[in-house]
Structure 1
Amino acid sequence: MLGNGVVGILAESMNKWERRVPLTPSHCARLLHSGKGNTGVARIVVQPSTKRIHHDALYEDVGCEISNNLSECGLILGIKQPQLEMILPARAYVFFSHTHKAQKENMPLLNKILAEKATLFDYELIANERGERLLAFGKFAGRAGLIDFLRGLGQRYLNLGYSTPFLSLGASYMYPSLAAAKAAVISVGEEIATMGLPLGICPLVFVFTGSGNASLGAQEIFRLLPHTFVDPSRLTELFEPARVQTQTAQVAKRVFQVYGCVVTCQDMVEHRNPAEVFDKGDYYAHPEHYKPTFHEKVAPYASVIVNCMYWEKRFPRLLSSKQLQDLFRRGCPLVGICDISCDIGGSLEFVNQTTLVDSPFFRYDPFSHSYHRDMDGSGVICAAVDILPTEFAKEASQHFGDILSLFIGSLASKKDIEELPVHLRRACIAHGGALTSLYEYIPRMLNSDLEPVLFFVVSLRGHLFDQFLINEALDIIEAAGGSFHMANCQVGQSTNAMSFLELEVGADDSAVLDDILDSLTSLANPTSGHGIIREKTDMVSLKIGRIQENDIGKRYNIRKKATILILGAGRVCQPAAELLVSIGSISSGQWLNSCMETEFQENNYVEVIVASLYLKDAEEVVEGIPNATAVQLDVMDYGSLCKHVSQVEVVISLLPTSCHSTIADACIKLKRHLITASYVDDSMSKLDEAAKSAGIAIIGEMGLDPGIDHMMAMKMINQAHVRGGRIKSFTSYCGGIPSPAAANNPLAYKFSWNPAGAIRAGRNPATYRYHGEILHVDGENLYDSAISLRIPDLPAFALECLPNRNSLIYGDLYGIGHEAVLAK
């Protein structure tokens, strides 16, 4: 049935308020009639529904068929998941399934999909190349949520003895359109501007948390009122006596505007060390370094908190029940909570339940810690509706369908999912009775049994599901011979939100745990050991929890501080030192701190020594880097070199290639590991047996080029081989491609190393194979052999490419010598 061009639209059955549709009649008309069938859609069958926002007759008018029978449909669309009995064999389904998060309550649906050999796509997983969701309703949640709350605010103030213009508002679903609802809010705003608000409830301050789509939607409605936005640091000024006196001088002692304040994480917490300033990256990676301040600096001045932030339990709460009780004891003006995030028991501890569209409020009394359905008594009113976008079903459906209709042609006409664009293939959870490769972690997370002698708890945070990093984390554990058990999982609910996963990772051998820890730490770095280049360090962060076996805790407690010697003071030395120190902080220092549940005296477990011929250069490299020191060293002074090498565990040489043989000889003699970024030449290759005899690793080509290109190449080649593929040709492009602003030299080249060395490299001869023929270019003719490369998606790049040294050796190293035409 797949790819037959017949599309079905389900009648929504999960919630009485769900009136949204994936495609409106106008979308269906375009799909059926644009270009005489060129859209790939031949027929659309719509299940009848008497509550859908668009009547069945409107679908019939544009050529859709109305029928309960969707058996002829190869592609079936919905908003929410259908009843299990509605799943037909061998069809493709698209809806919000919530199955990719491996929650047990949604597994019956996934099992049904698999049993029927159906195909499942999830809207939540359709994302662009940056991992940003393309199909979402966030702004509509914010819009509907704030309108509903303003209506309740009017009722609450009336119970407190104040009549306000908010009483005239209806709930969002009561308006025929978003425009009509906005017009009603504008009318309330006009009344405030002319008649004012009672002084007893002023200044009326709305605090918005977060800066995502939900917050922007709520602010959009708020801006329809006469308003002024105030920086969080200036909230106290609204309550200064002089300002209040100015307000009381106005007509009938009324105030003619409301105040808004947008707060983000830097306004909610502060570093526990008073000498440190807030750093967003550090906060996401190490929230334990920060303490909450929202209850002290913002909440005391808020009349309404509009909560749109994503929260994980490892972060400080926005407000705890105890903090709210203390605020009320001090007489704070807080009247209500509009929790659009609907994060039950989350950032607002006392919001412990969802509410309904037709009964959106409960009242929480912080003194008695009791919950009520009326608005008469003390406390705060709270709204926490979890299906807000459906209140503007018409506009939300139009917005959703505008994007979805772009994909329907491909989904409806392709018989093989491999023919689909990559963003749709990645959104396919199951096909033909099996999970697709990206989602094979689901049963692994559900079924992994943890019966090890030793284990620790690891917390992973980041784009675990939308970027599929969860697969890599589980692969690391299983490949090393470990086991795992999912202890906790919280998945981000917005486009940019991170997910949180807590795993109990175990093994029978402590060395296996070491390997797993090192590999997971590598995954958590901007450039991982798996050849993945992270654009942002917050793609995934790592925190190691407690060791569950005393013997392991003792063993790690006696580990010595690891010391690394960096030789050189060039451009790459400073970021190398910074990265090594940060890795040490994540992988060892905090691990030991939490393992032993004692204060670990050192903030970093890795010490870096930077050595240069000129001490001043080394001192400039380590300036401002904790646990990094500078020394003067001439590596040609063999005795001095050996002295410094003997004091460390690992040597990283960022010196010219000509120095490496001497350094390697010292490392072999003293049994210290050596890493370089240089090409492995004959002189280094000859040291292989001596290094093995000494029990050390000498690793070369571990930079950008060569280095990262090798890792990415092997990852792609291995993936192709696993799928039974054959490498027909392989060309690798790597070099110093600058941003346009940094292309400020005649070569338009990003120099991260010695410019003289880069020019000299342009005189190296090159050998490569092209269409089966081995070609050789002499060094003096290398620049004449340059070819132009244009990338269609990046028209601004006019690249000139040169062959680089001997590419033939990589055929065997990459394991494709018998397969590929190789160029590098």
Structure 2
Amino acid sequence: MLFPRRLQLARRVRRDSRLLTTLGIRREDPARIWERRVPLTPMAVATLLEESKENAGGSEEELRVQVESCKRRCFADSAYVQAGATIVPSLEPSVDLVLGIKEPPVPSVSSLLDQSDKKRTWMVFSHTHKGQSYNVPLLSAFMEKSKHQDLIDYELLTAPAGEKGELKRVAAFGWFAGAVGAGEALSLTGLALLKRGIASPLLHLPRPYTYSSLNEYKAALRHTAQILGEDVAAGKIDLSDQPVVIGLTGSGNVSTGAKAMLDELGVDWVQPEDLPGLRGGDKVPPSAYFTRTDGAPYQRADYYANPTQYRSDFAHKIAPHITCLINGAGWQTGFPRIISSADLDGLIESQDRKQKLVAVQDVTCDLKGGLEFVDRHTTIDSPYAEGPGGILISTIDILPSELPKDASEHFSSKILPYVRQFTRGGVSPETDPQVRETLHRATIVRDGELTEKHAWLAPAVQAWRGSSTSSTGQAAPSDSGPRRAAEVKRAKKKVLLLGSGLVAGPAVEVFAARKDVHLAIGRSPSNNLAEANGLIRNHENVEAFNLDISDADKLEQAVSNADVVVSLLPAPMHTAVAKHCIQHARHLVTASYISPEMKALDQAAREKDVLLLGECGLDPGIDSMAAMRILDRVKRNGRRVSSFVSWCGGLPEPSASNVPLGYKFSWSPKAVLTAALNEARFKINGHIRTIPGERLLAEHFPKVDLWKGLALEGLANRDSIPYAEKYGLGPVDGLKDLFRGTLRYQGFSRVLESFRRLGLLSSAPFAVVPSSWADFLRLAIGQATGEDVARVDHLRSVIAAFLGEQAAETVEVLQWLSLLDAHDVARLPKPLSKVPIDNFAALLALKLAYQPHERDSALLHHSFSLAPLHPTPGDLLASDSNDAERRNDTVTASLTCYGTAEASAMSTTVGKTLAFAALRVADGHVRGRGVQGPYEREVWEGVLDELESAGVRVEEKWDVRGE
């Protein structure tokens, strides 16, 4: 029989593609008692079976559906039977496509694979694509080449949306989270009011999960509204003095879902400015509580461009008048919080602990985020915790599971087009391009091997297979790769942290969160014992012990007992630690620049299969990682970098900067001072410049205009030229700019240059230890100027003669530092060293310390100019014209991180980066050996992902042709 050409092509594609004949819907892990959702509803199953029947024409290729029996599921087994599916106790080996919601237990996957080598596709929320260590065993189960398994993750199903075609997730549950969150908030408010001695109809409103559908819950809300209205009309309830007032934040799907439920309740929506008079509330827009620090009104575009210039007045304008807050507004580091912990404490105290606000439902579940005081998750079983002032706080992170049928119907409709593709012959050249690309982006494993995008996960699987072999005694799969002794020695990974100083806290928290890690903190006996004990807190897997780093035998013993050593010691001490690591085959991770002395250990480390990983902090660290992520994409898109300019700095927040130097210390004072004396080399506007260390402060960049409202200046940061090779930018000759700089507030360099000239930053020792601070200043100035400053009262005249116009400001600062005021000097500890810079660093650490209420910030900004990898004649002509910059594509990356009451921005960005990098090494994700920086994908990708999960996010902006 002859077919039309179009039909012939379709039949050929069906024969050549792997036609799906059996679809399986798995039963969710019994341990997930509240997971009642399904990936496909019975109606969707019936639709697929009917379509298959029509297409197959009664042939053996007709689709079959198996459903594992489950009595907990929101759709009964009988509903699937009516749809045409077969109920089975467990999926049979013949199944071609397995669908589920959450990740399946490894034994259930292995059981099916052991019965058959059949080619098969799995679609679930696997939680494996970020290298999550707890799910590496699951990923490994799919990666048996002989089993031919494919793994597709729902979370990675993305498709273009909106005018700009930005990739958005295909299936999102925000609306349901908001709807259920509103229901939980209403019930919570009823209970909270009862605790305050006030009864309301909300007390009798059952929680959303007690209803079988969204419509039933809506009906319950309407019924509650009716009863409330009748009781008020009959005088049974008088709410004139104490109305139930609900504030709702956010403007996305979450707040839309919440608003829909509140509308069912019949609430009156009022404007925020009417709150004081009405004693009522509204869906609160950002303009109602965010204002610029200069008093200008809220503008959305300006807010997102300059978040640091805004403050939140929610605690003063809105919170005093509302009973319940439903938070649906997302938050990112660097943006003002809606309510800080301090704001809430102030509200509670101002109302004598009888504040109107009694309930908070944080639908975002962003711990310590927009609502800083929200610090824990709650569950459906235990839905609330008591917060400050007795406020009941709920943060349930699986809210859509409370209305499983409706959520499942929504989810099923979203993934159906992609499931249908498999029932019609699989993905082929004839597949709709958008569907094909969406499935391609979501595929983690194909035919038992990681796809190119996820190849970086291979070392984690290899390390886990090796580790499981050592602990079970069973042979690892043949394709698991060689096992390293240091990676598989113990099931419990042992980390040694050297140092317990300013940036240790967040690092300890990261390690302590991993129950498969034991952290030992080796602290110097001279350090504050309370500080070290504070790091331990109630962590069962953390201990601290005294360790004198100068005692080589004790240091060696401590290193030998660890798997990975993390050093927060001063950079010159790393080399001694590294030698012990090499001797005992232990890995080392630091946040410091790689010194020549450390680099000299490269070959010895490689021979012992040891990794000495440096530059894993902020700068160096996050700056390089963020740059490598951008450069990876630039290269994949066939472009090259023509200009790279980077700025980074740790600074006080503006309100804490009104001190000399405009600076306060959240890390080593001596390191800050010595960094301002390093020689610098860079390329600007096609010319390479070198600035000697003694000229660095004098030749600073007086204005760096990156963040609106911040008066910044900059210093060139060491030698930028080697970064052309480190980052893979190509020959330096091909770059117009290659520059790395350090940010400070304007005025820093001018004052510090005066100090340098006066000898306060000198490393040349005095002949004697100064007897007082006045004596210290006299010795330093005398040594620097060559003047015989015999008497302290001669200092002002010597300074005036030596510094000229800069003398007056310098004298004022020296007075503030108590170096020219005998009364204040008497209250300072005496200088302890012959070395001027050591004494001066100690003094600055004391005088320029952060106060308890002050925060610091970490700022990072990269700017790239891009050009075609192979320029056209037109591009070459443009490169010599004034039109060049307009023709070039640009990319920027920006980080703004603010400190909190718990941790400074510097300790967060340095400590967490260091810890995440160390854990990647401990988990076997990093294959490199020898002396390395964070320039390989196996380091930077995973660390940046973990940092983003922890709220430290580098935002990228691409202005690139064709994207």
Match of 1:202 in 2: 242
Q: Distance in 1 between matches of 2:716 and 2:350?
A: 37
SS at match of 1:38: helix
Q: Residues 61-460 of structure 1: matches in 2 within 5 Å?
A: 61-67=82-88, 68-87=90-109, 88-89=112-113, 90-115=119-144, 118-129=149-160, 130=165, 131-196=167-232, 198-199=238-239, 202-239=242-279, 259-264=281-286, 266-274=287-295, 277-331=297-351, 332-364=355-387, 366=388, 379-414=390-425, 421-440=436-455, 454=593
1:50 to 2:71 alignment: yes
Cα distance in 1 between the residues matched to 2:588 and 2:880:
38
Conservation of the 8 A alpha-carbon contact between 2:592 and 2:620: no
Q: Counterpart of 1:428 in structure 2: which amino acid?
A: T
Deviations 1:283-314 (A, max 9, x none): 44543333333222322222111011222333
- The alignment's TM-score, normalised by the length of structure 2, stands at 0.47
1:220 Cα deviation (Å)? 0.5
CA contact (8 A) 2:185 2:326 kept: no
Q: What secondary structure is seen at the aligned counterpart in 1 of 2:326?
A: strand
Letter in 2 for 1:192: L
Distance 1:680 1:135, change over 3 A: closer
Aligned sequence identity (%): 28
Moved more, 156-165 or 19-28: 156-165
The one-letter code of the counterpart of 1:137 is F
Q: Which runs of 5+ in 2 are unaligned?
A: 1-16, 114-118, 464-586, 595-611, 652-666, 688-702, 718-740, 749-864, 892-963
1:340 to 1:314, Cα distance in 2 relative to 1, 3 A: same
Amino acid of the residue matched to residue 250 of structure 2? G
CA distance in 2, matches of 1:675, 1:22: 45
One-letter amino acid of the structure 2 residue matched with residue 339 of structure 1: D
Amino acid at match of 1:379: G
The one-letter code sitting in structure 2 at the alignment partner of 1:219 is: K
Give the drift of 1:209. 1.6
The separation in 2 between residues aligned to 1:450 and 1:586, in whole angstroms, is 37
Aligned to 2:775: none
Equivalent position SS for 1:199: coil
SS of the residue aligned with 1:85? helix
* C-alpha distance in structure 2 between counterparts of 1:212 and 1:117, whole Å: 41
Decide whether aligned partners of structure 1 residues 261 and 434 sit closer, same or farther in structure 2, where only a CA change above 3 A counts. Answer: same
Is the deviation greater in 424-433 or in 165-174?
A: 424-433
**Residues 598-637 of structure 1: matches in 2 within 5 Å?**
598-600=744-746
The alpha-carbon deviation at position 388 of structure 1 amounts to 1.2
Match of 1:25 in 2: 42
Greater RCO between the two (CA within 8 Å, min separation 6)? 2
Counterpart AA for 1:12: E
Residue in 2 aligned with 1:698? Answer: 880
Rounded to whole Å, the distance in 1 between the matches of 2:684 and 2:272 is: 43
2:396 alignment partner AA: V
Taking the aligned partners of 1:445 and 1:552, their CA distance within structure 2 comes to 37
The superposition leaves residues 71-121 of structure 1 with CA deviations (integer Å, 9 ceiling, x where unpaired) of: 222211111111112225453211222333343333333333334653221
Once residues 273 and 563 of structure 1 are traced to their aligned partners in structure 2, the CA distance between those partners, rounded to angstroms, is 39
Counterparts of 1:231 and 1:84, CA distance in 2:
53
Give the Cα separation in 2 of the matches to 1:341 and 1:544.
Answer: 31
Cα distance change on mapping 1:591 and 1:173 into 2, 3 Å: farther
Question: Residues 108-141 of structure 1: CA distance to partner in whole angstroms, max 9, x if unpaired?
Answer: 3333333465322122222221312221221111
Indicate if the aligned counterparts of 1:429 and 1:435 stay in contact, CA closer than 8 A. yes
- How big is the shift at 1:319? 2.2
Kept in 2, the 8 Å contact 1:189–1:226? The answer is yes
Distance 1:178 1:304 in 2: 22
Which deviations, in whole Å up to 9, do the C-alpha atoms of 1:293-341 show, x marking residues without a partner? 3222322222111011222333333223332121111223101001111
Answer yes or no: is the 8 Å Cα contact 1:207–1:263 preserved in 2.
no
Runs of 5+ unmatched residues, structure 1: 240-257, 367-377, 456-481, 489-500, 508-512, 533-541, 565-579, 603-672, 689-696, 712-824
Q: Does the C-alpha gap of structure 1 residues 581 and 36 become closer, same or farther in structure 2, counting only changes over 3 Å?
A: farther
Write the deviation string for residues 585-627 of structure 1: whole angstroms up to 9, x where unpaired.
Answer: 899958869975741469xxxxxxxxxxxxxxxxxxxxxxxxx
Distance 1:702 1:597, change over 3 A: closer
Task: Give the superposition deviation at 1:414.
Answer: 4.5
8 A contact 1:139–1:214 mirrored in 2: yes
**CA offsets per residue over residues 465-504 of structure 1, 9 Å max, x none?**
xxxxxxxxxxxxxxxxx9998889xxxxxxxxxxxx9963
Separation in structure 2 between the aligned mates of residue 79 and residue 33 of structure 1, nearest angstrom: 24
Classify 1:341/1:41 alpha carbon distance in 2 versus 1 (closer, same or farther; 3 Å).
Answer: farther
Aligned mate of 2:622, from 504, 510, 514: 504
- 8 Å contact 2:49–2:64 — kept in the other structure? yes
Deviation at 1:16, TM superposition (A): 0.1
Give how far 1:425 is off: 1.2
CA distance in 2, matches of 1:142, 1:502: 41
**Does the alignment pair 1:38 with 2:55?**
yes
Inter-partner Cα distance in structure 1 for 2:640 and 2:272: 42
CA distance in 1, matches of 2:271, 2:230: 26
Question: How many angstroms apart in 2 are the aligned matches of 1:171 and 1:153?
Answer: 12
Q: Give the whole-Å Cα distance in 2 for the aligned partners of 1:502 and 1:445.
A: 25
Give the match for residue 752 of structure 1.
none
CA contact (8 A) 1:59 1:65 kept: yes
Indicate how the Cα distance of structure 1 residues 552 and 69 shifts in structure 2: closer, same or farther if over 3 A, else same. Answer: same
Q: Secondary structure at the match of 1:128?
A: strand
Q: 1:343 to 1:453 in 2, by over 3 A?
A: closer
The aligned counterpart of 2:28 is 12
In 1, are the aligned partners of 2:225 and 2:265 still within 8 Å (CA)? Answer: yes
Aligned mates of 2:177, 2:272 — CA distance in 1: 24
| Cα 1:25–1:453 shift into 2, 3 Å | same
What's the C-alpha RMSD, in Å, of the aligned pairs? 5.0
| Partners of 1:219 and 1:105 in 2: CA distance | 37
Match of 2:436, as an amino acid? P
Q: Does structure 2 retain, via aligned residues, the 8 Å contact 1:6–1:72?
A: yes
CA deviation vs aligned residue, 1:615-658 (integer Å, no higher than 9, x gap):
xxxxxxxxxxxxxxxxxxxxxxxxxxxxxxxxxxxxxxxxxxxx
User: Post-superposition shift, 1:400?
Assistant: 1.3
Deviation (angstroms), 1:172: 0.9
Secondary structure at the aligned position of 1:224 is classed as helix
CA–CA distance in structure 2, aligned partners of residues 450 and 17 of structure 1: 41
Matched letter for residue 238 of structure 1: L
In 2, distance between residues paired with 1:198 and 1:558? 75
Q: Distance in 2 between matches of 1:439 and 1:10?
A: 25
TM-score for the superposition, normalised by structure 1:
0.55
